[in-house]
Amino acid sequence: MLPPFPDPPRWLLACGTCAELLARYRAGAGGRDRAGTLSAESDLSGHLVAAHLAELPGYAPGCPTCTEWQAGAAHASAATLALADSDLRHRAAHLFAPTLTG
Ligand SMILES: [Zn+2]
Ligand SMILES: [Zn+2]
């Protein structure tokens, strides 16, 4: 059983690309299309990082993956941080995907 889906913010729903990718993500997540859901999640997270960087949330409290990224970031150089967008993509997914608390 999945944790609840968050309500995406208004600006996300107002963006045509976000809305389209979110619809794809939700269509997959509602059914059994795991590959389609993962591909839509990756596309939407990537778009959020590329187009909405200033709006991305901080680390989510209680999320084990956020805790890991945050600990890693504390020891990484500025150049490494600039190159590592997995952290950002993960946080972007908190805008629309359930938080898996393990
Ligand atoms: Zn967008
Ligand atoms: Zn997280």
Residues 14-25: pLDDT tens digits?
999 999 999 999
Ligand closest in space to the Cα of 20: 1
Instruction: Tell me the CA–centroid distance for residue 78 and ligand 2, in Å.
Output: 21
Does residue 7 carry a pLDDT above 80?
A: yes
Statement: residue 30 has pLDDT above 80: no
Query: What's the pLDDT score for residue 83?
Result: 61
Say how far apart CA 62 and CA 54 lie, in whole Å.
23
Q: How far is the CA of 52 from the centre of ligand 1 (A)?
A: 6
Predicted pLDDT of residue 52: 95
Considering every ligand atom shown, identify the ligand nearest to the alpha carbon of residue 50 and give its number.
1
Does pLDDT of 13 surpass 90? yes
Question: Which pLDDT belongs to residue 1?
Answer: 66
